[in-house]
Amino acid sequence: MFKNIYPARALTILVACGIAISYASQNQADYDPLWLGVCTLLFVAGCVLAFNIMRGLPAPAIRIAMSRATWLRAKYRLGIGIACLLGAFGWLFWSPQAFGDGSWTLAAIILGPTLALGALGMLLIYHWLGLWAFGKMRDNAEE
């Protein structure tokens, strides 16, 4: 069944070793350190196997065709993304002193904008990184 899906074997090994590690470390009063060590080594071996299988697969070169205007907008969005991340960290560090009574409502007031600004910033930075890594300028200048 999984003959044509190459990464599935390695992922099966990783999942099995992860379950074994989880089982071995469940009851910490009487767990066996040797079993945990063996499972951890098997997990690392599974990671190496998965890496080797994935590296051996043929991978077509991915290129995103974009115009210079798209690249310029992406650079502006990178700046906005960095500003959003700085704003999120600034809000996270400043707001507990300003609203610091510790209630759940104020925790939501603190974490809501932090998560929203952080997610927006990461999304914009990730978009720029994708265009930077895989982008290729089009010959025609139409947009």
Does one domain contain both 16 and 69?
no
127 and 68 part of one domain? yes
Range of 69's domain? 64-137
Specify the residue for token string 């390695």: 10
Inter-CA distances, 65 with 68, 71, 89, Å: 10, 10, 34
What's residue 84's pLDDT?
95
Length of the chain (residues): 143
Q: What is the pLDDT of residue 86?
A: 94
Assign residue 33 a region: left if phi > 0, alpha if psi is -120 to 50, beta otherwise? Answer: alpha
User: Each residue of 44-99: pLDDT tens digit?
Assistant: 777 777 777 777 777 777 778 888 888 899 999 999 999 999 999 998 888 877 77
Structurally, the chain folds into a number of domains equal to 2
Instruction: Identify the pLDDT of residue 78.
Output: 94
**Domain assignment of residue 142, yes or no:** no
If asked whether residues 40 and 75 sit together in one domain, one would say no
Domain stops at, among 56, 81, 96: 56
User: Distance (Å, rounded) from C-alpha 12 to C-alpha 22?
Assistant: 15
Residue 128 has pLDDT above 80, yes or no: yes
Residue 143 placed within a domain: no
- Note whether 72 and 95 are same-domain residues: yes
Shared-domain flag, residues 40 and 99: no
Report the predicted TM-score, pTM, of the whole model to 2 decimal places. Answer: 0.54
> Contact 10/50 with Cβ under 8 angstroms?
yes
68 shares a domain with 42: no
Query: Are 91 and 116 in the same domain?
Result: yes
Q: Cα–Cα distance between 79 and 94 in angstroms, integer?
A: 22
Q: Give residue 118's pLDDT.
A: 92
